[in-house]
Structure 1
Amino acid sequence: MTGDDSAGFCGNQREAVLAIASGYTPIVQVMGTGGGKSVSFMLPAFCSPDGVTVVVTPLVALRTDLHRRCVKAGITSHVWQSRKNNQAASIIFVTVELAIIKGRRQALDRVVINEYYIVLKGSRSFRPRLNKLGEAIREFAFFHAMRLEASRISMFRTATTRKNIGYSVVIASDRISDEDDGGAEQDEDDAALKTLDTVEAEVCRVAVQWVRELLASGGRGKAVVYATLIEQVERLGSVLGYATFFSDVDSTEGKAARLEAWRRSNGAEGVVIATNALGLGIDIPDVRLVIHADILTGLRRFVQESGRAGHDGQPSILVVVRRSDNNSGS
């Protein structure tokens, strides 16, 4: 499937794949970000191409990335879209909203809930159909004859820590950098920074410094800056001149094109400013820097976004830019 004769299993991949191939259900698999959980549905589909696996994914960017990886591995896959002509494939990627619609489910080999913890975020105001996913899954043919008791669940779990990621916290300040005497250009940059709050200005400094050091060393890599609000993403993108990514930034096809452009980029062109719409399951190996604009309110989001770094096992950095106590109200 990988085209690499030396490839092997890592973590709990082997145990999970064997359990899936043996028909155990339900199965819960827990691994660190970038640990290779997708092998658990890709390899069975690769070995049994006549079957159908439905993979429920919460985000457009994640579906696009998984579909690309399936195509690269020689697995027929399709991103299901309502009101469009859809095709048969070994793996079908669907949204949560499409997954709960009743239909012909008897021909399926398996159902995979990717990034399943996202279901916990469902509410009346945010994707309310997330709360109906469990009920919909129980209606699939292979669940009819069984009771979903805790004793029947097969759990495969490995450590989720990533030793190749270094963590640091930068306290935002009101200073304007005087390290470089850039003349008019430096004055213009400083003026742009003054339009931002202290955290956003410090994020810009960290990102620009990283790009300079990367280019000076002749290295390669990408960076992603995460902000909570779309307004922050747009401000940072405008000042820095970097690409942006959030849920409504473009059409489905446009977001796929943005993701692919970022995947192929490097250095200054390899920096993207994003919300957590780019925070789930995106497997881009050479992300060397992740910056968080201020402290996050949710641990799950922090873990997922920081986990975008260093999927290739190379040293990478996570930087949290936070407000100083003196600037807590700015």
Structure 2
Amino acid sequence: MRKLWCIIGMMGLALSACTTQQKTQPSTQAQPAYTGPVVEISGAEPRYEPYNPGNMQDYEVNGKRYSIVKNPQNFSQTGLAAWYDSESSGNSRTANGEPFDAYALAAAHPTLPLPSYVRVTNLSNGRQLVVRVNDRGPYTPGRIIDLTRAAADRLNISNNTKVRVDFIQVAPDGTLTGPGTVGTVVAKQSFALPPRPDLSVTGASGDSGAALSSGNGATMVGNSGAAVPAATGSRAGANGALLSADGGAVDQGGAGAQSAGQQTTAPLAATGRFMVQVGAIGDAQRAANWQKDLSNRFSVPGRVSANGNLFRVQLGPFQSRQQAQAQALVQRLQSEAQQQAFITAL
């Protein structure tokens, strides 16, 4: 009888152990779908890019070993961020082999695959931005990501600002998943242009001596004898546009330079001129540096146009949308500088 009770007791313990083990297994039930509000955020547009196999190997820096995250589809991380505007090694290229560009919306991370995309949230002000991870670093304890100057400006990041990094998985068909997509959708940048002033000349009879008011008293006489506004230190470009002393196009407020034998008092919009707009930031000097850097890099003049507290960086001008498209500048900006851009009419 005692033997029978021992057998029954052992069977009960075995069943209890099985029940306990089953309870500790992770749940296989799908997580409930997100049903909260969805907001649009700006930044680099995620697109499918195969990982660079040369950056998928674990490595060691300063005696510390870093293991690459091989499957980052659920990767999220909270820590400190900083910004950098040059390679610490002095090399002009990133770990992904691309030219380093302080004005691209990019970042460095020690363990994520290259290239990849993440959503960065500044936890002190709630600002969010999508950046493309194309570099390695940082290697400072507590810091989890280094942002380019352009990305840091958008997020209002100073050194050692607390952020959250959420990975965005991009499928070959362009589908976006992962924690970086929850509650947000990436929108292409679009900045509204200010209303154009009416620069039509009243009282002008169409004679060659008609002058357009510049607003500051400065004028420039065209080939036909008509005067058009001029800026200090400006010169005429090959395509008839006014160029500043540093090569940037001067915002003439709607008055285009006239070609030989032509007379017009129509606003600039009527001439069908176009610019390639790269983006906008809230710092005039950095916008000017950004424009000069892109103008030098792509051999295209440009300008910075103020719109309230934003300073728009634009390249051009082009006489038509077709001319702008023929230059393939938008495609070159995306492929060579990882910078989104669009063509806009003046």
**TM-score, normalised via structure 2 length:** 0.25
**TM-score, normalised via structure 1 length:** 0.25
* Larger RCO, structures 1/2 (Cα 8 Å, 6+ apart): 1
Higher strand proportion (structure 1 or 2) = 2
Higher helix proportion (structure 1 or 2) = 1
